[in-house]
Structure 1
Amino acid sequence: MTTPTTYPNASAAASAGSPLGKALAAEHAAVYAYGVVGAQTTGTLRKRAATGFDAHRARRDQLRALLVKRGEAPAEPAPTYPLPFEVASPADAIRLAVLVEDGVTAAYLELAADPDLSLRRLAALAMQESAVRSYTWRPVVVAFPGMPVERATGPDPVRTEPTPIPPVVDTPAAQSPISQQLQDQ
């Protein structure tokens, strides 16, 4: 079995419909996963898990209220969510927390492109918060949090030949338009 790079996975969020619905689905899964993370940790790690749980629960509640306000029916959470791997140790819990945060960040990408400025702002803040939480679990910085890691298809962007440099035209300073303007002043 290969380990996924994000949790919740994109196909689960895609079934949620609208970008707001997808973000809500990711938050539901994150709340569930943080319960598992908290159960496998102690001390400082458990406090960090509780903070993540509370943050995702608050964001979930915010998204539910926003969907209701917009006349959409928010999806209810599932009673359980399939985990991407068995979580039997604190190390597994940390790995799950990182996958959760990376998955939540990815779930907000589509919402960040919404024409509604308030939704774009909400998505940007949610992505920032989850990227920071991911960093607290695994202090590795990624260039574009939430973006797929796969390499783009197409021609290699690295040039194999140097770009030709155009020849420099030798213009006396007295003839250049800028020099002329300076002399006129």
Structure 2
Amino acid sequence: MRRDGDHGADVETDPTDAWQNALAGEHAAVYAYGLIAGRLAEGSAVQRQAASAFALHRKRRDDVMARLVRDGQTPVEAQPAYETGAVDNAAGARRVAQAVEAGLCRSWLVVVGVTTGAARTYAATALTESATTLLAWGGQPSALPGVS
């Protein structure tokens, strides 16, 4: 990681660290969407939306883990639990989903910035999917999704 002298912000420059951070976010997303889907009314629109996001993030998590292993890295493990706050209605589900997707947008934006070629294409697709999902959960559009 280097310090951006003009803005004082930490800027990730190590691709492996960026991929590991994105993986940590995907682990959190799988947990959060499993929680959301499991706590809301079976067959409701919000439950179906969460189940769909769960499947997407589970696949992405598995893809990133495989990439790291292929590169000789040990993937970061999922935490046993994540702090989400209450998820007992659609409003709680939206709040958690927006937070998860905003965090993933930030993580994937970093991966886009430190990769090239097919890796950058994958990260850009992940960023786009998380930004689109953030909007689907009622998040606000921005020039840099997940950055406030």
Instruction: Give the TM-score, by structure 2 length.
Output: 0.82
- Give the Å deviation of 1:20: 0.6
Letter in 2 for 1:113: G
- Give the Å deviation of 1:41: 2.3
Residue 51 of structure 2 is matched in structure 1 by 50
Residue 90 of structure 1 is matched in structure 2 by 90
Distance in 2 separating the partners of 1:120 and 1:29:
22
More off after superposition, 31-40 vs 57-66 = 31-40
Distance in 2 separating the partners of 1:47 and 1:72:
34
- Give the Å deviation of 1:87: 2.4
Greater CA radius of gyration, 1 or 2? 1
Distance in 2 separating the partners of 1:50 and 1:88:
16
**Contact 2:98 2:139 (8 Å CA) reproduced:** no
- Give the Å deviation of 1:108: 1.1
SS at match of 2:72: coil
Residue 41 of structure 1 is matched in structure 2 by 40
Q: 1:143 to 1:48 in 2, by over 3 A?
A: same
1:30 matches 2:29: yes
Aligned length: 131
Quote the sequence identity (%). Answer: 37
Distance in 1 separating the partners of 2:115 and 2:23:
19
RMSD (Å), alpha carbons: 1.5
More off after superposition, 22-31 vs 118-127 = 118-127
Distance in 2 separating the partners of 1:108 and 1:88:
29
Distance in 1 separating the partners of 2:101 and 2:51:
14
Unaligned runs of 5+ in 1: 1-16, 150-185
Residue 126 of structure 1 is matched in structure 2 by 126
Residue 80 of structure 1 is matched in structure 2 by 81
Distance in 1 separating the partners of 2:95 and 2:47:
14
User: Is the helix fraction higher in 1 or 2?
Assistant: 2
More off after superposition, 112-121 vs 43-52 = 112-121
